[in-house]
């Protein structure tokens, strides 16, 4: 059993008239239990070259269904207009703009539950890490 911790801090001194300061941590555990997730695909990078077509980052067929996988994504671009459109199966989740990151639970509930990325420009690089249940 491994111990992996994901912590988020959301902070702003001026979005509201009171300061926003939220920090919470989660220990990444298996589906329905308190056992630490033991698998990872490691921190990786994918540069989607010419044509900026949609690319399948993770195939739902390759992972056990209905688990507590967690996916970290970060757009390494520094050009504000550049984004990766993140899609699960055929449903758009959102646009990850330059510098943005996301942490998403992924249940890989069926073979169609692929994670796909579609960059808005050529030669954009995504950094990602999958924690596998």
Partner 1 sequence: MATTATITLTSADIAGDPVNVSKTATCTKAGATTDLDQTTGLNRVHLRNATNKVLLAANAEGNDLAAKVYIINKSTDPSLYLTITINAQTVGKLYGGDWMFFPWSQTDTSANIEVAATNWTSSTGDIPVEYALFHEDTDFLTNA
Pick one of 113, 116, 117, 124: the residue that binds partner 1 (CB under 8 A): 113
Torsion sign, CA atoms 104, 62, 87, 77: positive
17 binds partner 1 (CB under 8 A): no
CB of 109 within 8 A of CB of 69?
Answer: no
Task: Spell out a b/e string for 56-86, using b for 16 or more CB atoms within 10 Å of the CB, else e.
Answer: ebbebeebeeebbbbbbbbbebeeeebbbeb
Least Cβ distance, residue 20 to partner 1 (angstroms): 7
Q: What would the two tokens of residue 119 be?
A: 């960059």
Is residue 27 near partner 1 by the rule CB under 8 A? Answer: yes
Q: With binding defined as CB under 8 A, does residue 102 bind partner 1? A: yes
Rule CB under 8 A: is residue 59 a binding residue for partner 1? no
CB 109 within 8 A of CB 88: no
43 contributes a contact to partner 1 by CB under 8 A = yes
User: By CB under 8 A, is residue 100 in contact with partner 1?
Assistant: yes
Chain residues in the site for partner 1 (CB under 8 A): 2-16, 20, 22, 24, 26-29, 31-34, 36-40, 42-43, 66, 68-70, 72, 74, 80-81, 83, 85-86, 88-97, 99-107, 109, 113, 129, 131
């Amino acid at each position: 059993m491994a111990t992996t911790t994901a912590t988020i801090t959301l902070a702003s001194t001026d979005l509201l008239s009171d300061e926003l300061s939220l920090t919470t941590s989660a220990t990444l555990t298996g589906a329905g239990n308190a056992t630490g997730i033991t698998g990872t695909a490691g921190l990786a990078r994918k540069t989607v070259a010419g044509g900026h077509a949609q690319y399948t980052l993770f195939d739902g067929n390759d992972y056990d269904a209905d688990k507590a996988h967690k996916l970290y994504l970060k757009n390494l671009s520094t050009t504000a207009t550049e984004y990766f459109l993140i899609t699960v199966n055929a449903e758009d989740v959102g646009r990850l703009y330059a510098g943005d990151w996301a942490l998403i639970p992924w249940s890989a509930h069926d073979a169609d539950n692929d994670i796909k990325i579609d960059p808005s420009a050529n030669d954009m690089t995504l950094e990602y890490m999958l924690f596998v249940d």
